[in-house]
Amino acid sequence: PSIRTYDGRSKVLPLTLEVPDPLTTISYGNWVSLSEEDASEIGVLQPEPLYKDRTQVSIEAAGSAMALGTMVQKGLPKDVMTVHRDQLNVDMLSFDKRSGQCFATVDDFTIVKTNLTEALAIQAGALEQGHRNIIPKENGEHHGEHHIEGEVTLYPEVKYPDYRWSMAIDLESCIGCAACVAACYVENNIPVVGKDEHLKGREMSWIRIQPYYHDDGSMDTLVMLCQHCGQAPCEHVCPVYATYHSHEGLNVMVYNRCVGTRYCHNNCPYKVRRFNWFDWTDEGAWQEPISRMLNPEVWTRPKGVMEKCTFCVQRIRRAKHDAKDEERKVRDGEVTPACAQTCPT
């Protein structure tokens, strides 16, 4: 079953297809995941870069055949191939006569490489760290202190008189379910752009789940969103001051100032900024009834404007208003962004 649509019952919801599969980062499309050994045997290669068209294979089982794109996935044992249940033809599935439950495995099948290729909407640039130490190994020697010496900066130190908002993500607890990604879409009126835009690299998600596979087949997941850097590289290149560092530690986006140069996107080392290629404020831009489900506390962004994670600033403001009514400061833990609220772990 799929972590996004289970047995296919949620496939009618556009958001479940917009959110990429956590293991492969593929959003739209049908594919089969192959082990490295099986892929080598049938002559399937992983393209470089990953977004290139992929070899198509024909799978036949129970007298029914279907063609699928391929994804070579580390960690899969030999002679094991995975296809999401909602992608299989019904004829290929077998069911328990008593409960009617669909069996999770298909034992008798054949797979043959074809001469065709298929474009899959894969969002990752790479699935290996490539000795870049993106997810560093645990280091307990510093005992909670900074184990890297401070760097000299040309910019003045920022003072935070009242608050400095921050969020911690425990990568050891993350199971890569992508619930946070879906919650962010709903909370912040992020548009569902569809397969064609994903194939062009124009996804709009503010959070991404990035899997990194190791040589032994194990995998770590990295939850990537705006880091709200203390000296953010994006802020210094914006010619119209549309993004700046607030006195509360937020990397702020002022949509009304943005002229869409995309300098900030180019200068972001985490690649978490998104550019609106379409005007989502137009009537009919959102499918019904989604247009009546938008969050009224979050502005819908127009064409030509950059956007990114805001730490759910609307929730921060709500907590500050409530605290002001009670003549006190916001207490730690009173502000919970949508992603943290939805996280099951």
Output 298 or 286, whichever has higher pLDDT: 298
Query: Is 6 within the bounds of a domain?
Result: no
Q: How confident is the model over 156-161, as a mean pLDDT?
A: 87
Q: Are 86 and 201 members of one domain?
A: no
Q: What is the pLDDT of residues 199-236, one digit of tens each?
A: 999 999 999 999 999 888 889 999 999 999 988 999 99
**Which residues does residue 154 pair with via DSSP β-bridges, in sequence order?**
none
Q: Provide the pLDDT confidence category of residue 147 given band limits of 50, 70 and 90.
A: low
Q: What CATH number is attached to the domain comprising 216?
A: 3.30.70.20
Cβ neighbours of residue 103 closer than 8 Å, sequence gap 6 or more: 93, 94, 95, 96
User: Residue 179 and residue 295: Cα distance in Å, rounded?
Assistant: 18
Neighbour tally for 301: CB within 10 Å: 24
User: Residue 208 and residue 259: Cα distance in Å, rounded?
Assistant: 25
Q: Are 91 and 212 members of one domain?
A: no
In contact, 68 and 62? CB cutoff 8 Å: no
Tell me which residue range forms the domain holding 289: 179-342
pTM for the structure as a whole: 0.89
Q: CA torsion 292→293→294→296, rounded to 10°?
A: 80
Query: Is 173 within the bounds of a domain?
Result: no
Query: Is 145 within the bounds of a domain?
Result: no
Q: Are 262 and 183 members of one domain?
A: yes
Q: Are 220 and 336 members of one domain?
A: yes
The token pair that represents 98 in the structure block: 């008593």
Query: Is 142 within the bounds of a domain?
Result: no
Query: Is 163 within the bounds of a domain?
Result: no
Query: Is 271 within the bounds of a domain?
Result: yes
Length of the chain: 345
The token pair that represents 90 in the structure block: 């019904």
Helices H / strands E in the chain, number of each? 7, 10
Phi, psi of 120 (to 5 degrees): -110, 140
Q: What is the pLDDT of residues 259-283, one digit of tens each?
A: 999 999 999 999 999 999 999 888 8
Q: What is the pLDDT of residues 299-326, one digit of tens each?
A: 999 999 999 999 999 999 999 999 999 9
Q: Provide the pLDDT confidence category of residue 192 given band limits of 50, 70 and 90.
A: very high
Query: Is 36 within the bounds of a domain?
Result: yes
In contact, 89 and 231? CB cutoff 8 Å: no
Count of structural domains, the chain = 2
User: Residue 140 and residue 178: Cα distance in Å, rounded?
Assistant: 28
The token pair that represents 258 in the structure block: 């943005």
Q: How confident is the model over 110-119, as a mean pLDDT?
A: 92
DSSP secondary structure code for residue 74 in this structure = T
User: Residue 36 and residue 44: Cα distance in Å, rounded?
Assistant: 9
Q: What CATH number is attached to the domain comprising 58?
A: 2.40.40.20
| 324 SS3 class | helix
Among candidate residues 124, 9, 109, the one with its CA nearest the CA of residue 74: 124
Query: Which of 66, 100, 118 represents a domain boundary (last residue)?
Result: 118
